[in-house]
């Protein structure tokens, strides 16, 4: 007699619930298992003891993956904050030069007589245009350097996430293989926990 469809459905729902929710590919292991598991398709009994035993193990791999994935993001955010902060002095310096420029030009408009206004602009504008030019050049240079530093930690994040994914795929593939063997073994009994 084939096991009830509802039992199979329950098993699949439970398996899906034990899969990670963040990241991308990991649940591929689950789909692969469901599509290739001979026992899921042909077994006449579905040994629910196997699920009782392997679901928490699969959930454990999934939780470990989520945790590692979270650590990757935390490390990335901390490194990003440090990089951004390290440009604080340069950023404030440029901002204060920009303010100084605006203030100097603004002051010209407060002169009473037109001739004084013109004289003020004619003196102030060339002086500050050099500073504005430097602001532009410095900002270009700083941003290039900053973007290069961010690219390094982007790469680190990618390496970290890939590693977490690989560990999960390997661990869960092993567990799915064991679950499969369990489902095919009518005499399977829960291993005695070694302390
Ligand atoms: C531009 O950079 C140079 C060299 O780092 C620095 O001496 C200068 O003060 C900077 N100027 C501004 C407006 O940020
Ligand atoms: C800013 O950069 C341009 C182009 O590289 C250069 O021609 C100019 O002299 C620089 N200005 C300053 C103030 O360093
Ligand atoms: C399960 O155990 C029974 C009784 O010990 C045995 O006859 C049978 O061959 C076993 N089945 C498998 C798949 O090992």
Residues of the chain with confidence (pLDDT) below 50: 1-2, 26
State the ligand closest to the CA atom of 47: 3
Give the integer Cα–Cα distance in Å for 185 and 174: 17
Q: What are phi and psi of 13, to 5 degrees?
A: -60, -45
Please tell me the predicted confidence (pLDDT) of residue 86. Answer: 98
**Are 25 and 65 within 8 A, CB to CB?**
no
Please tell me the predicted confidence (pLDDT) of residue 52. Answer: 86
Nearest alpha carbon to residue 28 among 146, 179, 170, 181 = 170
Please tell me the predicted confidence (pLDDT) of residue 94. Answer: 98
Please tell me the predicted confidence (pLDDT) of residue 190. Answer: 78
Is 133 close to ligand 2, i.e. is its CB under 6 Å away?
yes
61 Cβ neighbours under 8 A, 6+ residues apart:
168, 171, 172, 175
Q: Which of 87, 93, 137, 142 to mutate to test the pocket of ligand 1 (most atoms within 8 A of CB)?
A: 93
Using the mean position of ligand 3's atoms as its centre, give its distance from the Cα of residue 188 in Å: 10
Q: Which of 97, 104, 132, 138 to mutate to test the pocket of ligand 1 (most atoms within 8 A of CB)?
A: 138
Is 138 close to ligand 1, i.e. is its CB under 6 Å away?
yes
Please tell me the predicted confidence (pLDDT) of residue 180. Answer: 84
Give the integer Cα–Cα distance in Å for 172 and 78: 30
Please tell me the predicted confidence (pLDDT) of residue 26. Answer: 47
């Amino acid at each position: 007699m084939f096991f009830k469809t509802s039992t199979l459905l329950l098993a699949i729902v439970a398996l899906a619930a034990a899969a990670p929710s963040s990241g991308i590919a990991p649940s591929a292991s689950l789909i692969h298992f469901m599509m290739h598991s001979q026992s899921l398709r042909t077994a006449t009994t579905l040994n629910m003891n196997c699920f009782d035993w392997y679901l928490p193990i699969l959930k454990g791999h999934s939780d470990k993956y989520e945790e590692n994935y979270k650590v990757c993001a935390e490390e990335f955010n901390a490194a990003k904050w440090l990089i951004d902060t390290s440009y604080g002095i340069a950023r404030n310096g440029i901002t204060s030069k920009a303010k100084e420029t605006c203030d100097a030009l603004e002051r010209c408009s407060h002169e009473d007589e037109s001739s004084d206004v013109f004289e003020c602009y004619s003196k102030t504008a060339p002086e500050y245009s050099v500073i504005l030019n430097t602001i532009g050049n410095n900002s270009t240079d700083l941003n290039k350097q900053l973007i290069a530093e961010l690219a390094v930690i982007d790469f680190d994040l990618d390496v970290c996430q890939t590693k977490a994914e690989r560990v999960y795929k390997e661990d869960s593939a092993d567990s799915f293989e064991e679950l499969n063997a369990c489902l095919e073994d009518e005499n399977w009994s829960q291993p005695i926990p070694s302390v």
